[in-house]
Amino acid sequence: MNKKIHYLLMFALLLFINGLMAQNKTVTGKVTDDSGVPLLGVNVLEKGTSNGTSTDFDGNYTINVSGDSSSLEFTSVGYLLQSIVVGSRSTVNITMTEDAEQLGEVVLTALGIKRQKKSIGYAVQQVKAADVLIAGPVDLAQGLQGKVAGLNINTSNGTSNASSRVVIRGNNSLFGNNQPLIVIDGAIVDNSELEQGNVGTSTESYRDWGNYLSYLDMSTVEDISVLKGPNAAALYGARGANGVILITSKKGMKREGLGIQYSLTSNYTDVYRFTEVQNEFGGGFRAGLYTANPQLPQTAEGQAFVPSLYGPTYGGSTGINSSHGDVPGGFYTADLFSWFGAGSSWGPRLDGTPALWWDGEVRPYSPQPNNRDYMYRQGMENTHNISFSSASDLGSIRIGLNTTKGDAVVENTNHKSTSYSLGSHINISKVFSADINANYNQSSRLNAPEIGNNNSWSKFTIYGMSREYRGLEKDLYFGEDDYDGYKVDFGGAYPHAEYSKDLFWHVYENNDRLWRDEFLGTIKLNAEITPWLNAFVRTSADVIGTRFEKTNNTNNLNGLNGGRFEKTVSKDKTFNTDIMATLHKDNFLTEGFNASATFGYNDYVTNSAGVRGVNGSVFRVPDIYSLSNYVNKNDTDAVETRNDIQSFSYFGLLDMSYNNYLFLQVTGRHDTNSTLPKDNNSTFYPSMNTAFSFTDAFDMGNFEDVLSYGSIRFAWGKSANAAPPYLLDAVFDTSTFGGQATITRPTSIPPNDLTFQTSESKEIGLALGFLENKINLDFTYYDILSENQIMTSTVAMSSGAEKVVFNSGALSNKGIEFIVNANIIRNSDFSWDVSLNGAKNTNKVIALAEGVEEQQIATVFGSLGAFMKASPGETYGTIYGTDFELDDQGRKQVTNILNKDGSGEVIGTQYVISSDVQKIGNAAPKLTGGIGNVFRYKNFRMSALVDFKWGGDIYSVDHAVSMGSGLSQETADARNGGGLPYTYPDGTTDDVGMIMEGYNIDDGQVNDRVIHPVYYYGITYAGWSHFNRPRSLSVFENSWAKLRELSISYAVPKDVLKRTNIFKDLSLSLVGRNLFYIYTTLPDQLNPEAINGTGNGQGLQWSAFPSMRTVGFSIKAGF
């Protein structure tokens, strides 16, 4: 906007003030809640008359009264009625007390404005921090799980403090960030994962260093308000399209005694639920194909030994000495069974035979049912929190200190965090007041477990660990030298190949450390200029400094070779400033018609800069981890990252209400953003919402005994989202060669005519209260269309590029949400409250870029495994893979595997599989939600939360591997007899034969070929295969219900405490989190919540950690 207009606006403001009209005897005042926060929309009525008004967004009101004897009544939904005689005062300030029976009826909305819930025409749900934190969650996101309808929170596969994916009402963006905006006291923060991980991008291999909410000091949070969809977010502009989570910090309040609160929370986490495996057969693959009683191979001296993945291991050995190799019929294993891992357990029976182990010792070849526990320990986390709180006429203050120290369930992994917080409200003068919030947080983490790759225990347990594995490496991997040790080579007899030969060295000797410092501060200056005009300026800063170091120990005797040092230093700054002025007029034009108009300006700046130095060279000096400790400069590198965005906006709100039952809000926002072309970088978007409380408007008569409250609401809104920075230009990449510059096309085709991506949202909602509001029901239907989506799609590499960024995609989200709250019993000694919330969202892809037919969202092992892609017209979340090629009668087709010697001997069968991929599932759930129960008996309180997911498929690589490599119990059962008679190549027989169900196209009849279980499972299932396989066999509906939280607390009675003369309050709690699954549809105890990362590929599961549960206790004391 041009500067002249700006001056004009300021001048107009001046004129309005000049036009101030004198009033008769007037009473003014301010209405605040317990903690000093101003309350909007409190009804102020001169008792016995119809003369009334309501408070503005700063809690101020002005009313003309008839005289000193007048009484004022202050009412607001959710608060107890207050009645005050005016007397001789002209200022009456009131503190409202929350009515416990009507909690949650006043909610925080966009830009921090508190409003009566019934006046809002769109869905917003507020949760008290106390309810979020009741069961000691690791972070705020995990505490919110199951508590807000339509807020889907998935914690990714990993340790307990893994990142959480937070999505409101489905995906607005195909490939991009779908997480909502997070606003803390007006400060805008970014919930992206820390860049040290690759959590959002890879399903095959990643590390999780957490995202913003993993680091937030939860002890400072007062409540959380979830604004769903673009309607609610229309005023946050650019980044609000995915919805907004508003977090309000605690402020000081007047307390009895010293005002000091202390709490201690101790949590203990254990792994408890591993995928089921068999414990009868050991490592190997081929041996079982030759004979009914396969034996371990033997050395030339006749000593049985454990075979390896790729032999040979002992010269002159006899027997089948490796998993890969030739099989009957002249095939190499990979020809038929592809690249199974060292975990394959089709080997001999674990019968206790003395066997030579890879370290030279002889041990019994016997079951090791607990071998996957080897790298886990009990995780522990202790949190101490102390705060001081006080309030007076001058204002209020809260000072907090919080420290957390935790050890993960995985060894050599821990975290620490300390934070200092300030929350204050200062009454500067009659007119000015200020809110100041500040938080300094210092965190560090040692290591984050690797997931999915060869250094990851979770991959090893599924892909590399055969069932006789004993876990010997921890004591053997490290060799003593003059420096800090060298890596011991486990030798050629090591049976688990690359899957664990470096794992232990990596876990203990290659250490990554993260230090993160954050300052988050907000200053808000409020001014009550006239009784009908007020304004504020709020500015916030979020400054995060990160230091990340990777120190890989040298692995050689000389202390110089094989080491590595990387150091990344980065700083992220976000500044956000809002200026707002509100004009307010009650009984405007006509009695009962209230109106207010708000004008505002927002300025947003974020910039990040980082530098990463890499020293991958042989070191010059042993044992020093430094960027300068290199021999060969060519093995060093430096990388710079930067991210700068600025925007500014003008916005306005017009609020109207009639007789407190009909409400209308109209908003508009004009954004200008730095990341778009200079001639096309601004946009305007409006929204409106209306609410009609029909039970207030009409006399419901006797019906009111049943239906106490009813309101219908409707909203429509648009919002716009700008592009990421640096997308504008068709730039060329450069490099050097031979001392000269080189220039090349980039890998990505840039978008044409980049513009804002927009969302248009419609929603309708109904809120009903029955039986004096003992049962409340809220229902919402929404329809969101997101257009001009900035997306990235892959194109054929033969086009000269790998991907194209485009600005023309469209997605739609339609869905419902419902919330039911019921006070089933409530009396002075006992109460029982139940809450239920649920949501269903359908997400469709409407359009992609011209020339792009489909868009891959995520893959696991490329198209040879399974992958997710989106095509126009399809529901988002479709899982694809190769599958059975059915004949025209819908039968599975089977084909014979013939001996390569040309004899025509049938050695096995296999299914005919499609060469192209087919739809094999869809990850979108049918319903998600939670059910909470709170029981209160005298001073005891018990709460339990069950959250659930109904529907939504996963393709489980873990299942495919487990079946294909003989790990699952089903494969052992098949080997234990009970099948059809089967004759082995050596003439031995056993009742292990199986028949593939289907039509044999070679035999021309329903298939009746009897085959060995290795052919049945080993060919049909495979996790990582270069062959097409029927992937649908490992696709499962993943529905589950879980006891997410259970807490029992006891508050020591006040009269007991009084006698101590120390405590003002004291409570003790026992908490449990993630305790157990009540219901799950996955077979073999597969982990239902082990999707890798927080990206959009939520239907592909690989390398799962076992489930983990946490129990703990907390003590809270007030002094």
Partner 1 sequence: MKTKINITSRSILIVFLCVGFMSVSSCDDDFGDINNNYETKLYEATAPGLFNDLIRTTVKIDAHHRIPSAWLYQWTQSAAMYGESGYRLDANTTGPWKSYYTSLANAHEIQKLIAEHPEAANMTNISEMTKVMMAYKTLTITLLYGDMPYSEAGKGFEGPENFRPSYDSQQSVMEAAINDLSAAVDNLSTSATQVSLGGFDTLLGSDIPMWIKFANSLRLRYAMTMIEKNASFAGPVITAALSKPLLTAEEYISLDPAQISDFEINRAGYFRGNAYMRMGSTIWDAMSSTAAVDGSGIYDLRCKIFFEPNEVDEWVPYPQNPDLSTPTVTGDPNQPSRITGDWNTLRSNFAAFNVYYTEDLTVPQFIITGSQISFIKAEIYNRGLAGVAADAAMAEGFYNEGITASVNFWYTHANGSAIWDVNKPATPEPTALELTTMLTNPNVAYSADPAMALSQIYKQHWIALFHQQFEAWNLQRRTGNATPNVPLTTSLVKDFNRLPYPNSERETNRINWQAATDGGNDSETTKNWMQQ
Least distance (Å) between residue 235 CB and partner 1: 17
- Verify binding: residue 1, partner 1, rule CB under 8 A: yes
- Verify binding: residue 8, partner 1, rule CB under 8 A: no
- Verify binding: residue 733, partner 1, rule CB under 8 A: yes
For residue 8, the surrounding DSSP H or E stretch is helix 3-18
Whole-number Å distance between alpha carbons of 461 and 551? 26
What are the Cα distances from residue 660, in Å, to 30, 43, 920, 942?
20, 9, 53, 37
SS3 of residue 1092 by DSSP: coil
What token pair was written down for 902? 């040309």
Least distance (Å) between residue 541 CB and partner 1: 15
Least distance (Å) between residue 94 CB and partner 1: 22
Least distance (Å) between residue 533 CB and partner 1: 9
| C-alpha closest to that of 342 among 457, 129, 184, 494 | 494
- Verify binding: residue 937, partner 1, rule CB under 8 A: no
Instruction: Please give the residues from 712 up to 731 whose contact with partner 1 meets the rule CB under 8 A.
Output: 725-726, 728-731
C-alpha dihedral sign at 93, 99, 100, 106:
negative
CA 1073 to chain centre: 17
Lateral strand order in the sheet of 1005-1006: 906-911, 893-898, 999-1000, 1005-1006
Amino acid at 898: L
What is the total residue count of the chain?
1119
Instruction: Please give the residues from 430 up to 489 whose contact with partner 1 meets the rule CB under 8 A.
Output: 430-432
Whole-number Å distance between alpha carbons of 425 and 523? 10
Question: Could you identify the residue written with the tokens 């033997």?
Answer: 298
- Verify binding: residue 862, partner 1, rule CB under 8 A: yes
- Verify binding: residue 6, partner 1, rule CB under 8 A: yes
For residue 183, the surrounding DSSP H or E stretch is strand 181-184
Residue nearer to partner 1 on the CB measure, 640 or 699? 640
Interaction mask 210-249, partner 1, x per CB under 8 A: ----------------------------------------
Least distance (Å) between residue 743 CB and partner 1: 3
Instruction: Please give the residues from 19 up to 78 whose contact with partner 1 meets the rule CB under 8 A.
Output: 19-22
What token pair was written down for 99? 């009515």
Find out whether 419 and 402 touch, Cβ atoms under 8 Å: yes
Q: Which DSSP letter does residue 293 get?
A: S
Residue 828: Cβ within 10 Å count: 6
Find the radius of gyration of the CA atoms of the chain: 33
What token pair was written down for 564? 């590595």
- Verify binding: residue 608, partner 1, rule CB under 8 A: no
Question: Could you identify the residue written with the tokens 């792009």?
Answer: 852
Candidates 70-78, 490-498, 698-706, 989-997; binding stretch for partner 1 (CB under 8 A):
490-498
Lateral strand order in the sheet of 124-128: 124-128, 221-227, 244-249, 181-184, 187-189
| C-alpha closest to that of 61 among 32, 30, 34 | 30
- The residue within the footprint of partner 1, chosen from 262, 268, 290, 339 (CB under 8 A), is 339
- Verify binding: residue 205, partner 1, rule CB under 8 A: no
Residue nearer to partner 1 on the CB measure, 369 or 851? 851
Least distance (Å) between residue 500 CB and partner 1: 14
- Verify binding: residue 312, partner 1, rule CB under 8 A: yes
Burial of residue 679 (number of CB atoms within 10 Å: 0-12, 13-18, 19+): exposed
Task: Give the β-pairing of 740-744 and 707-721.
Answer: unpaired
Whole-number Å distance between alpha carbons of 372 and 357? 18
Least distance (Å) between residue 287 CB and partner 1: 16
On the CB side of 552, CA atoms within 13 Å amount to 21
- Verify binding: residue 828, partner 1, rule CB under 8 A: no
- The residue within the footprint of partner 1, chosen from 735, 828, 889, 1061 (CB under 8 A), is 735
Amino acid at 450: E
Instruction: Please give the residues from 951 up to 990 whose contact with partner 1 meets the rule CB under 8 A.
Output: none
Instruction: Please give the residues from 798 up to 817 whose contact with partner 1 meets the rule CB under 8 A.
Output: 798-802, 804
Least distance (Å) between residue 131 CB and partner 1: 37
Instruction: Please give the residues from 623 up to 662 whose contact with partner 1 meets the rule CB under 8 A.
Output: 634, 640, 642, 644-646, 648
Candidates 63-71, 276-284, 315-323, 1055-1063; binding stretch for partner 1 (CB under 8 A):
315-323
Instruction: Please give the residues from 741 up to 770 whose contact with partner 1 meets the rule CB under 8 A.
Output: 741-747, 749
C-alpha dihedral sign at 236, 239, 241, 246:
negative
Candidates 426-434, 459-467, 508-516, 822-830; binding stretch for partner 1 (CB under 8 A):
426-434
Least distance (Å) between residue 643 CB and partner 1: 10
Residue nearer to partner 1 on the CB measure, 58 or 763? 58
Least distance (Å) between residue 398 CB and partner 1: 26
- Verify binding: residue 299, partner 1, rule CB under 8 A: no
| C-alpha closest to that of 885 among 921, 863, 912 | 912
Residue nearer to partner 1 on the CB measure, 747 or 903? 747
Instruction: Please give the residues from 567 up to 586 whose contact with partner 1 meets the rule CB under 8 A.
Output: 577, 579, 581
Least distance (Å) between residue 644 CB and partner 1: 5
Whole-number Å distance between alpha carbons of 1115 and 641? 44
Instruction: Please give the residues from 779 up to 798 whose contact with partner 1 meets the rule CB under 8 A.
Output: 794-798
On the CB side of 494, CA atoms within 13 Å amount to 18
Least distance (Å) between residue 744 CB and partner 1: 5
| C-alpha closest to that of 321 among 284, 294, 291 | 284
- Verify binding: residue 738, partner 1, rule CB under 8 A: yes
Candidates 314-322, 479-487, 686-694, 970-978; binding stretch for partner 1 (CB under 8 A):
314-322
Interaction mask 867-906, partner 1, x per CB under 8 A: x---------------------------------------
Instruction: Please give the residues from 665 up to 704 whose contact with partner 1 meets the rule CB under 8 A.
Output: 672, 674-675, 678, 681-682
- Verify binding: residue 291, partner 1, rule CB under 8 A: no
Least distance (Å) between residue 863 CB and partner 1: 5
Instruction: Please give the residues from 514 up to 533 whose contact with partner 1 meets the rule CB under 8 A.
Output: 525, 527, 529-530
Total site size for partner 1, rule CB under 8 A: 106
